[in-house]
Amino acid sequence: MELQQLKATDKLLKLIRKSFPNSKAYFTGSVLKPDLMDAFSDVDITVDVSDDEVTGVDVIMPKLIETFGNVFGYQIINNATDDVLRICFDTGIRFDITFVYSSARVLIKKDCSINENTETNINLYWFLSSLILDKLGRSDNLTASHLVFELCQIIIVIQMLLRDEAKKTNIHKSGDNECVPILTSLLSANISSTGNDKTKNEILGILFLASKHMDDLAGGLLAGYESKTEKLIKKCVECDL
């Protein structure tokens, strides 16, 4: 059976070339060795950006959604000489799209609103959650553990951002003895497991617990937000984890 990633490569390449006709686009990574790819592989593509073309997530994202469906989560990494869009769709397909520029840029850090920062963290959360399933699928419990606790940190970061917004400052000499719901849940949850998959099941237990917290949190912050924990569980079943 042909992997869905390989089926998606032609569509992706055509989309990139149509969107940025004067730039050079080419695959890197595991796509160049398809015999080594599995259901957990992503697709890496690099775009050497022509000086006369404008790139950015705002340009490519609507076209990606139109071609590949709803976005599960994504991360944007901005560097002086390149931008990277790491994106996962509801289908489980993941792309790493790197835009490389001919000369270094001066990156200007802009002050993002509470809504922008919150949405960025929510999208990052769900992108990293998809990586956890891939790591578990390849028996990399150590990296999956690192990522699952990073998810818990992201939830706490959003809680901190909300506190900043409520107090109209990000400088806090002292706190308010706040309750931290994700911490309380982790300490009180019964997610122990036995057998050969003990560690994997413990990681999944933390992942699903944290994801329910994120769904509840995001649902109250983003208009039109759709819960994603059940999609994550479905993907877990499909991957036989």
Residue 122, φ and ψ in degrees, nearest 5: -65, -45
Confidence check: pLDDT of 230 > 90 = yes
Domain limits for position 138: 114-238
Residues forming a β-bridge with 78: 83
Residue 100, φ and ψ in degrees, nearest 5: -105, 130
Query: pLDDT value at position 2?
Result: 65
In a shared domain, residues 95 and 126:
no
What rounded mean pLDDT belongs to the chain? 90
Q: Are strands 71-78 and 82-89 parallel, antiparallel or unpaired?
A: antiparallel
Give tens-digit pLDDT for 83-120: 999 999 999 999 999 999 888 777 767 767 777 889 99
In a shared domain, residues 46 and 140:
no
Residue 105, domain member (yes or no):
no
The domain that contains 34 carries what CATH number?
A: 3.30.460.10
Domain end position, chosen among 75, 100, 125: 100
Residue 158, domain member (yes or no):
yes
Q: How many distinct structural domains can be found in the chain?
A: 2
Question: Which of 122, 132, 3, 7 is closest to 71 using CA atoms?
Answer: 122
Confidence check: pLDDT of 1 > 70 = no
Give tens-digit pLDDT for 151-187: 999 999 999 999 999 988 888 888 889 999 999 999 9
Q: For residues 49 and 54, what is the distance between their CA atoms, to the nearest angstrom?
A: 8
In a shared domain, residues 10 and 88:
yes
Query: pLDDT value at position 178?
Result: 92
Phi-psi region of 195 (alpha: psi -120 to 50; beta: other; left: phi over 0): left
Residue 194, domain member (yes or no):
yes
Residue 45, domain member (yes or no):
yes
- Report, as an integer, the average pLDDT of 48-64: 85
